[in-house]
Structure 1
Amino acid sequence: MTRPRIIGLTGSIGMGKSTVAEMFERAGVPVFDADAEVRAMQGAGGELIDAIEAEFPGSTGPNGVERDALGKLVFGDKTALARLEAIVHPAVARKREAFLIEHAGAPIVVFDIPLLFEKGGHEAVDSVVVVSAPAEVQRERVLARENMTPEKFAHILSLQVPDAEKRARADHVIDTGLALHETEAQVHNLIPKLAEAPRKD
């Protein structure tokens, strides 16, 4: 059975990745949003609540995972983080497989994965699209977010592959430092090229 070409969409914080993912969706391309799936599985009644509560007692409540409580338990603790990822990652993988089956007839699908390079996911996709903008635009966007500080921003950046390296490793780069309609035009122009890209398998 043929499968769609899988496009890995990634970009550092504040680069506009979610906006570009929406542009792909508007153009009719199915998008798998890994973060959204995790939020749903950790939300009220989510399928991961019991497993997370069992591993990290006191980290969930009526609305699902208490992000602050869980964050305090895993932040800076690599062993605890690995235990959490052992619960979350297989569940996301199952959702991704179901998504691929559901959209088996599509020419391309997009996997929206923030830490594509950091977690090695780039090896499992056919093409990598990196969303990028000038550093000063990125900084302005991120610092405008609620509860964001320059220190927090610097810490997040320290955990991510630098933008210049992402761009160098990408098959395609979408510039979001432009007007929205110009970025959307880049997305539309790219879709036919992605549909013709060679598969890795």
Structure 2
Amino acid sequence: MIVVGLTGGIGSGKTTVAKQFEELGVPIYIADKEAKSLMRTSKVVKRKLIELFGEKAYIDGHLNKSFIADTIFNNASYLKQMNAIIHPKVAQHFKKWIAKQNAAYVIKEVAILFENDSYKQCDYIITVTTPKTLRIQRLLERDDTTLEKIEAIMKNQWPDEKKMKHSHFVINNIDLEDTKRQVHQINRDILKKIQ
């Protein structure tokens, strides 16, 4: 099965692009969504997160997202350790998921595809780019967040220029119709490459 990695910085519009590929019949795996699900449902992940962050990691069995976000925001070492707990579990889940798919290719959407080395498991890579000012504007409108938090996340992600150098395709996501046109073209190109 051909795996296409889909990545881009926070607020670039990866999920919008993923939905457009899904409309073309491409199975989509959203790693962040699965990571959040595992943090809620996996006993092993829960136990390890409590060992890492302490009892405050969960309140009445529910993930204490704001506490964890604040902790990793203030300490990159916690972020690295948390990723070391979650990423292998997501990779296992992805293997099971991919075995059930029946398509020419699948897309694995991962925010930190390069940063966590999962690009090595991809046959092709698509990076979604958007000017930083537009990304920040989108995030401030969409999420309950601050400029300080957005910039801290951006600091932990590769800059677009670096991602683009390691990508097979780049989508400039500024105008929705133009983005859709780029998605259709990339889908045709991938199908041509794998025939």
- Which TM-score band (shorter chain)? 0.7 to 0.9
| Matching residue within 27, 31, 37 for 2:28 | 31
Indicate if the aligned counterparts of 1:126 and 1:197 stay in contact, CA closer than 8 A.
no
Normalising by structure 2, report the TM-score: 0.86
1:61–1:151 distance in 2 versus 1, CA, 3 Å: closer
Distance 1:25 1:115 in 2: 21
1:49–1:163 distance in 2 versus 1, CA, 3 Å: same
Give the stretch that moved more between structures: 80-89 or 23-32. 80-89
Distance 1:132 1:26 in 2: 21
Indicate if the aligned counterparts of 1:6 and 1:125 stay in contact, CA closer than 8 A.
yes
Q: Match of 1:101?
A: 99
| Matching residue within 167, 171, 177 for 2:164 | 167
Distance 1:161 1:102 in 2: 32
* Cα drift, residue 156 of structure 1: 1.8
Q: Match of 2:83?
A: 85
Q: Percent identity?
A: 27
Alignment of 1:28-177 (within 5 A): 28-43=25-40, 45-47=41-43, 48-55=45-52, 56-62=54-60, 64-74=62-72, 75-76=74-75, 78=77, 80-103=78-101, 105-177=102-174
Distance 2:145 2:79 in 1: 22
* Ranges in structure 1 where 5+ consecutive residues have no aligned partner: none
After superposition, the C-alpha distances for 1:164-190 in whole angstroms (9 at most, x for unaligned) are 222232110112111x23211221221
Normalising by structure 1, report the TM-score: 0.84
Are 1:197 and 2:181 counterparts?
no
Are 1:11 and 2:37 counterparts?
no
Are 1:181 and 2:181 counterparts?
no
Which runs of structure 1 show a deviation greater than 6 angstroms over 4 or more consecutive aligned residues? none
- Name the Cα RMSD after superposition: 2.3
Greater helix share, structure number: 2
* Cα drift, residue 82 of structure 1: 4.3
